[in-house]
Structure 1
């Protein structure tokens, strides 16, 4: 009987871990594949147009889904300031900056700077949330960053030929994502459903993008878009914008800042794998080594059951 009780307890403790691991895998797959997708889209669509389409579609799909599921669409007055602030940082700031940065620097360099986000989130979590940074967390972070360096190679770090504009924009994107993530955690328990919160965040962020698209851009008509643009846009809208963003909000609420942010280090590994499949890039040993290092970073943090005080 004691053995059965112990097994039941272990199985119960493992369920949240398995659920979080499933969310991490989905986020890594969806956002990892989004890197080459956005690169394809930007060949035809300018940044404001891309984000206006993405944010508007995300808002419509998520709020319609919430309506279909009969979830309350109303948000309390107490939650609106948090909803707006976290949406502006995690959605508008990060997505807009990454689009402009990829037009001004190689994608590999942009990815390295984007996924310094866990560093900034850990520091912001220590400052704003009082979360202690443990040696295990630093080890996981270092392991993941080592994986990124192996994956992208030293040549990606020496990208001074195109100036500092792109890297500075990308650094701003990483800081924006980190701050928004920490603010989600600082809010604590949200009363509204994650689908509703994310839907309204997209709706708020879509307004300035539509205005800027109309004022400053003249995108080509849809009939002139290449087939690759249509396919990439479909993937981007369904998996990256709609599903992954909602799953990210859910995961941040389930995990500590360290666990949630370090888990994002799997995303560029998936991005490179998808580039190999879609663009015919060679499969090398460094890809496997980077994958092992990145998965080790996730495991080191996720398998630590004692959360920092």
Structure 2
């Protein structure tokens, strides 16, 4: 079944926002690197099944492998490793707030590369920057503030932003579900090298039903489906516009964390989230539907 283009960002925002409380449920009982290994390898298996069902070409030319490795490391590997440690310390909603500073990094990187923005994009960006500034202030004054966890998530956001810009400007022949599969597989292999920094055992049992449900959601939805939808969205609209739309995820993610986990939400947070939501709505309402001309990624239909 094909998804209407206008529905795609909404679906991505809701599903990815749900991944943050789900991740925290799992990470309260499962060590961070173990969690990422399971979600990355599980997501890889899911995408392989999808590719085989659609008879999609899985092979990338050897000359593209250096770029593919770098893109996988930035877009998926480094982001997921750093964010797992951060989510384990921070509340799911607050972790989402820091992670989705990513759109602002995208815009700054694009500006350095000579990108020009229209008035509505600048208004959306300004609203987003004000919202993020309030978030940073709220997090810093919080009694449970962790500079290390917050810093890890900020670096994760920068890594994701850099990888997204590079992916949008890349010249890869592999695309669609096959691209997602390779990103997850490569990142799963890279994550193995981070096992020595995990102090807990690789597997820690028993895990409660809530923990298993969080792990299942993060693997099937957060990793496989959402990563695939994100890479597909980058083939449909401008990179900066796609990134700013993601600013709707922190409000939804925080709301879900509040409902599921009872995460705290103060007035300052609410105002910041409102500004982020305005920014995302402006970006979703206006802008070109055509992908940046520098990319050769081919759009594919979502089955």
Q: Which among 163, 169, 172 is matched to residue 155 of structure 2?
A: 172
1:234 equivalenced with 2:213 (yes/no): no
User: 1:144 and 1:236, CA in 2 relative to 1: closer, same or farther beyond 3 A?
Assistant: same
Gaps of 5+ in 1: 1-17
Q: Which residue of 2 aligns with 1:122?
A: 107
- How far apart are the structure 2 equivalents of 1:275 and 1:166? 18
Q: Which among 192, 198, 210 is matched to residue 180 of structure 2?
A: 198
Q: Is residue 75–residue 160 contact of structure 2 (8 Å, CA) maintained in 1?
A: yes
State the structure with more CA Rg.
1
Indicate the larger mover: 56-65 or 107-116.
Answer: 107-116
- How far apart are the structure 1 equivalents of 2:264 and 2:112? 43
Q: Which residue of 2 aligns with 1:244?
A: 226
Alpha-carbon deviation of 1:140?
0.4
CA-atom RMSD, angstroms? 3.0
- How far apart are the structure 1 equivalents of 2:162 and 2:123? 22
* Deviation digits for residues 214-271 of structure 1 (CA, Å, limit 9, x no counterpart): 785414445x001110111111111110100011001112221220110110111111
- How far apart are the structure 2 equivalents of 1:181 and 1:76? 21
Q: Which among 119, 138, 141 is matched to residue 122 of structure 2?
A: 138
Size of the alignment, in residue pairs?
288
Matches within 5 A, 1:204-219: 204-213=186-195, 216=198, 217-219=200-202
1:68 equivalenced with 2:50 (yes/no): no
Alpha-carbon deviation of 1:111?
3.0
Alpha-carbon deviation of 1:21?
3.2
Q: Is residue 96–residue 254 contact of structure 2 (8 Å, CA) maintained in 1?
A: no
- How far apart are the structure 2 equivalents of 1:50 and 1:218? 12
* Deviation digits for residues 264-307 of structure 1 (CA, Å, limit 9, x no counterpart): 10111111221233235689888886665444322322333458
Indicate the larger mover: 47-56 or 271-280.
Answer: 271-280
Task: Tell me the SS of whatever aligns to 1:254.
Answer: coil
* Deviation digits for residues 18-51 of structure 1 (CA, Å, limit 9, x no counterpart): 9443221121111101111111111111111011
Q: Which residue of 2 aligns with 1:42?
A: 27
Matches within 5 A, 1:1-309: 19-128=4-113, 130-147=114-131, 155-159=138-142, 162-188=145-171, 190-213=172-195, 216=198, 217-222=200-205, 224-280=206-262, 293-305=275-287
